[in-house]
Structure formats: C-alpha cells, structure tokens
A and B are shown apart, each in its own frame.
Chain A
Amino acid sequence: MRAFAAACLAGLLLLPNGESSPAKAQSAADGDAQAAPAAPSKQTRPVVVASKPFGESYLLAEMFAQVLESRGIPVDRRPGLGATEVALAALRSGAIDVYPEYTGTGLLAVLHAAPMHDAAAVFDTVQRAFEQQWGIRWLPPLGFENTYAIAVRAGTAGRYGLRTLSDLARVAPKLHAGLTPDFIGRADGLPGLAHAYGLHFASVRPLNQALKYRALAAGKVDVVDGYSTDGSIARYGLVVLEDDRHFFPPYQAAALVGARLQRDDPAAVTALTELSGRLSAPVMRALNQRVEVGGESVSAVAASALASLDLTHKSAATAAPPGAARESFLAYLWQRRAVLWKDTLRHLLLVAVPLLAGIVAGVPLALWLERRRRAAEPVIRAVGVLQTIPSIALLAIMIPLLGVGVWPALVALWLYSLYPIVRGTFTAVRDADPSAVAAGRALGMTPAQVLRWVRTPLAAPGIMAGIRTAAVIDVGTATLAAFIGAGGLGDPIATGLALNDTRLILSGAIPAALLALLVDALLAGVEWFTTPEPLRAAARERLRDR
C-alpha cells in the first residue's frame, strides 16, 4: 500500500509537466511498475495499443506505446489485430484504445464512400463520420502517406526520363508489369489507373507481394505496384513515380483513438498527438526498411526513431546492431525458447478448452438428436453453417461481444469444433451395426439402453474421428487467434508475416504443425482405447487387407 501511495505521489509530481528526467521516471516505474497511475487521469487500466498485421502498423503502434511509456503511462500492447474490421471493431467496443490507421482506408473500406483526391477533404470526411458514428477520433496525421505506389528501377527511370505516371503512360507499351493480383482486379487499381492515364503495358503478370520487388530488381519485370513507404523501395533504390493526376486516394497515416481514452485519459491523447506531423514518407520508408529488410527489432527501431525526433530520451542501446551475424535456425529457436514455450502452452489452451467444450456439448447433442431424428438434419445443418463463416469474420463477430484476447478466440474455436463432433457422432451412432441394434431392441432393451450399450460403443471409432477432425481444425485455426490478440503460436506467424521475417513465421508454423500431429496421435491413442476390442481387431484386419 505504501509503495502504491509513493507511486501515486511520484506520478503526481513527475508526470503532468512531462519534463522529469527519464532516470527518475524509470525509478518510479520500477517501484510499482504496473500500478503507477498517470494522474490526473481516471486511468483504471493500461492504455491498450494495437496494430494491424503488417510491419508499418507494428512499428507505428510500438512508437505510440513508447511515447506513452516515456510519460509514465502504462501500456498493454496488442499488435497484429487482423485486419481493419477486427481492429476497428475492437476500438469501437473499447477493447483497445488506439491503433494506427490510414484515412483512405477509413474512407473506402470502412465508410464505403466514393473516392476523393484531396487529402484534407478525406481527413475531414473520416474525422467527422468516425466521431459522429462511434465517438472515435482521428488525431492529426503523422505526416506521411502510405498510398499505392508505382515503382520502376532507377535505370529504367533514367533511360526513359520517367518522373510521373504520365511519363510512364508514354512508354508503357515497351514495359512489362508485375502486379499483385489484388491490384490487377480492383476498380481503384489497374483498371482505374489504365483509364486515368491511358496506361497500357506490353504485358501484365500477377506477382505475389513477397516476390514482386525481387522480380523487379532482377529485371524480370519493369514496373511493380507497392505501397509508398515499403522498405523495399529504399532497399532496391527504386523510383516511385508521381501520381500527377491524383488518381490514388490519399492514405494519410494517423492515430485512431477510441472514446474511452479520450474521456478517461486526456494526457495520453496529448502525448500521442506529439507524433502528429513528425514522420515524413522517406523517414518512414527508412524505418520500415530497417525492420523488414535489416531485421532489426520493432522496439529498437521505434526507440531510435523517437529519440532522433526528440520525443523520448531513451537510447537505442538495446537494439541489436543491424546486419548482425545470423545464428542457425536451431540456435534461433533455442534463443526464443521461453517465448515459444509460452506460445505453445497458450496454443494448447486454445485447442484443449474449445475441444473439451465441443465434446461436452457436441456428443450429448448428437446422442439426443439420434433419438429425435426429425430435428437432426436441421440442427446439424445449422451447426454446419457456423463452419462456413470465415475464421477471421467469426473472430471479428466475437469482438463486440467478448472484446479482444483469449475469450473470443475460445468461443470461436469452440463453435468451429462443434460441427465435426456433432456430425461425426450423429452419423456413427445412427449407422451403428444395424443387426446388433435390431437384436438389442428385439430382446427388450429400451431405446436408451440401445443407445448406451449398443449404438454408442459401436460408434466409438466414428465419434473419435469427428473429435480428431475437430482437434486438427482447432490447432490450425487457433493460429488465426493471434489476429484478435489471443496469443499462441499464431503470434510469431502473424508477426513474422507482418515483418517479412521467415524465421519468425517458421518458429510458429513448425511447432503448430508438430502440435497438430501430436494432438492427432494422442487422440488416435484415445480412439484405440475407447474402441471395443473386437472392433480394433476388425480395423487391424482392414488395414492388412490393403
């Protein structure tokens, strides 16, 4: 209690003016790190800072977090919420407090408004609409746009004198484009661009996100689409052509702040606003490059960026030197073992709890349906409809009800486990050895006794098949739970995808695959154990016949 009071006092003394030395702030935070409330706010929980699942969003969120922390405001990081609909739903429900967003995305993907080409007008539109509809506030833009960018090699630009997209249109019939399939298809992508500039390439090849820059650098294609702050633009020394007819809508980056934070913690909002107008596109591109290409940690890059902007006084001493010698993959795993172990345990939780709940709910439901055949098909089909909801959508639906984190993931995974269990159990029980079932009935078993002593034991392999299917689905789908902040082995996968870090992806994907095999093998053992002995023998003989 005394420590708490001391921390409060320290907070009162140190925080409002923001001029306290970092050493003092650090020691105050050390004294009672989590409990130190940022007076005079009515803060009752840390500020939940989130991001969407790509590198730049991670980096911006980390900068938000460090700015807040440097002012003694406790932060809870929830990076990698995927994607816009999940992050925005979480912000609207108050599960998170702030995340970086782009005005063009707000205009087109959220408000579904017509494209506009004036950056200030777009900002005003989204500002007003978000405020009115959800009380969500766009802080003044950070200072750069991350819009679609059409890039060429410096050599190409030099040879043809390319500076703008109008220049490109002139020579496009001599050039080969490699564009992401998404860009080729959408109206505000290639079709619209071709129309606006009269642009016609010699050929257009669909190339995936990860490959296109390498293909461009290697001369396999001459033009690619990208985002204006992609780190690869700096890495390969590419030239981004100016959108001189303002075809692409402006995508200004800004912090999106939820209603709760505005109400409860104005100091935090003020701190976040200090980033507004401080980040230019070249700066952001260089920072992205350090993370995505140089392999530096997000927190180190964020810290050094903030220090150079004089927004914090933290040194980047903890940062790994760029281009440090990379250890072997096994050494890398070993070094990450504590995190991996924690992720694996969380993943097991994400599989075991929904699966057990699925068995507890699904098997009795299926047995009950066996006795009420007429209700069976409609009920099972309704459960099946749940299965058809895309996982990300189902997870997004859960957010307004259950917030972000582990609970919505558990419920969503539980819903996914139901169908295979119910369908498998029902079918196996219904189709159990008809002659044994008929004999049981003819000799005077009650329907409940037939179910208990004949149908269910004979259906054991089929019931277990449904459970094993559900388990493997859960292991796989649980990796997506990272997108709603539930953790697990999806965490390194989502972060690795965002940061273009293959080793990080593998450090989650390989254990997840092993876990799926392990869980299935474990359940195969359970199946063997629950299958009546003579049926095991029959199964073995079937195996031998092959």
Chain B
Amino acid sequence: MNGPAVRIERVSKSYGGVRALIDVSVEVPQGACVALVGESGSGKTTLLRCINRLVPFDAGCIAVFGTDVMRSEPVALRRAIGYVPQDGGLLPHWRVRRNVALVPWLDGAADATVRADRAMAAVGLEPAMAERWPHELSGGQQQRAAVARAVAGGQSLVLLDEPFGALDAIARSDLQAMLIALRQTTTLTLVLVTHDLHEAFRLATNVVVMRAGRVEQHAPPADIRRTPATPYVRALLARAGVEAA
C-alpha cells in the first residue's frame, strides 16, 4: 500500500450559510506528520473532523488508505483512526488503564489490557498511573494517556485536535518530544491541528496553512519559511515570531 494515508479532494462544507471549507485538497503521505495551522475559524478543525466523519462534508472526497470514507461504516472508521482531543477527553469514571484500552476493548480484543500497558509505555506513562483515576493525573499525563488511547488499538493514522493547547510551556515541550520519539519508533501517520506555528514547525513534515476555508499554502516547514506563498502567510510567520530562513 504505497498511496497516501489520507487523500482529501475538493472537499467543501457549509454550516448554514457559512462556508467552512471551500474546495480543499490535501494529501497526507504515509508516515508523515501534517500540521493544519491557521487562525480560529480558518476551517482547520472542521477539515480534521471530516477525515473520521465526525463532521459530514457536503462535497468532495476523502480517502483513508485508499478507501473512500463514505463507503466505510462511521463507527468502524473511527475505531481504525486514533483521535486526541484538546482536553484529552478521558472518561472520568474509568481508571487510566481502562481508558487507554477503550478501542481494543470495543473491538473485543482479548489482550486489550496488554495493549493498553504497551501503549502507555510507548508514551512514557509509568505503570503506576494505570490504576489511577484521570483526575489524579497532571494535565501532561492526561494528554499522554489520551495519545496512548489513540494508538492502543494499533491505529496507523492518528488525528490530533490542538492536543497540547491547554498545557504549560514545559509540559507542551515534553509532549512534543514524546510525539517525535513516538514517530521515530513507529510508522504512525499524524494529522495535527494547531494554532502554534512553533509546534507545527517542530513536529510536522508538512504544514498546511489555512485561511477562511481555503488552503493558503501547503509545503514542508523549511519551504514555508523560505518562501511564504502569500502576504498572509508572511504576516502569520512574522506575528508568530518565526524567522524566515
């Protein structure tokens, strides 16, 4: 299977009269980490949620590992794709291990707990955390658990929606390092929504700059720094204090 992990072709989406996505096309190669960046309302989160059909899009086509998502059953599709929400979204009434084991458990895997423990080790969560309640974990630990949950089912594609947005600078940096390490030891494909250009440039192999429902520029970080495609991208870089290379 050598095609892209995700192929988004001319996808449009309106909420009432508001056009959230206009003819968006993006390709995510396997093993890549694509960051969707832009201001609030640029459509980056909507685009992310179209991939696992949390948001039904109006037109266009999205294929995941070569299969049209509209031909997949939504529940099966979502189980096959990892997902990390901004606030972690751990179920507060389940202990950490059970949270991490969610997807394999839903799939009826006999070794769900073993997979959960393995995933926790991969994201650097100590085994002692497994028996804790989510509210007993720090914010950074909760996000690690959320990432572990997103990969414990053996998913090879993970969607992350501003996963570290609510963390302090140190925890965020630690989590970014964890994600980089995770990509080095696995063949994960990541699609990451962030409003933090530094984070995008640190983690991503490709950056998609979005503005008002359209793709403003789609290129590797170095290219964007070197040659911003539009004045908007240049302004965005300047505002974020990212130096042009």
Taking Cβ atoms with an 8 Å cutoff, the residues of A that contact B are: 433, 435-436, 438-446, 449, 453-454, 457-458, 532-535, 537-538
Contacts and interface: CB of A to CB of B under 8 A. Distances in A.
21 contacts: A435-B87, A435-B89, A436-B91, A439-B83, A441-B78, A442-B89, A443-B79, A443-B83, A443-B103, A444-B79, A444-B80, A444-B103, A445-B75, A446-B75, A454-B91, A457-B93, A458-B92, A533-B133, A534-B135, A535-B92, A537-B135
B149 A443 contact: yes
B89 A538 contact: no
B92 A433 contact: yes
A444 B107 CA distance: 10
A242 to B, nearest CB: 77
A442 B45 CA distance: 13
A441 B91 contact: no
B213 interface: no
Contact of B85 (A435, A453, A537): A435
A383 to B, nearest CB: 28
Given A436-B92, A454-B91, A458-B93, A443 B135 contact: no
Contacts of A441: 54, 78
Nearest to A446: B75
Closest 4 CB pairs of A and B: A439-B89, A444-B79, A532-B93, A444-B78
A535 B93 contact: yes
Nearest to A437: B89
Given A433-B92, A442-B54, A534 B134 contact: yes
Nearest to A454: B91
A442 B93 contact: no
Given A444-B76, A534-B92, 10 more contacts: A435-B89, A436-B91, A439-B89, A443-B79, A443-B102, A444-B75, A444-B103, A453-B91, A458-B92, A534-B135
A535 B134 CA distance: 11
B78 A438 contact: no
Nearest to A541: B135
Interface in B65-87: 75-80, 82-83, 85, 87
Nearest to B107: A444
Nearest to B87: A435
Nearest to B149: A443
A443 B134 contact: no
A538 B93 CA distance: 11
B90 interface: yes
Nearest to B159: A442
A439 B85 contact: yes
Interface string B9-45: 0000000000000000000000000000000000000
Contacts of A440: 89, 91, 102
A463 to B, nearest CB: 14
A106 to B, nearest CB: 62
A534 to B, nearest CB: 4
Interface residues of B, number: 27
Interface of A is mostly: helix
B194 to A, nearest CB: 18
A443 B155 CA distance: 11
A443 B82 CA distance: 7
Contacts of B134: 534
Contacts of A532: 92-93
Contacts of B82: 443
B163 to A, nearest CB: 12
Contacts of B150: 443
B141 interface: no
B1 interface: no
Contacts of B85: 435, 438-439, 442
A534 B93 contact: yes
Given A444-B103, A444-B106, A533-B133, A439 B76 contact: no
Interface string B185-224: 0000000000000000000000000000000000000000
A12 to B, nearest CB: 74
B46 interface: no
Interface in B101-133: 102-103, 106, 133
B31 to A, nearest CB: 22
| Interface core residue of A439, A453, A458, A538 (most chain B CB under 10 Å) | A439
Contacts of A446: 75
B166 to A, nearest CB: 11
A394 to B, nearest CB: 39
Contacts of A444: 75-80, 103, 106
B161 to A, nearest CB: 9
A532 B133 CA distance: 11
B69 to A, nearest CB: 13
| Interface core residue of B78, B103, B149 (most chain A CB under 10 Å) | B78
B52 interface: yes
Contacts of B133: 533-534, 537
Contacts of B106: 443-445, 449
A439 B75 contact: no
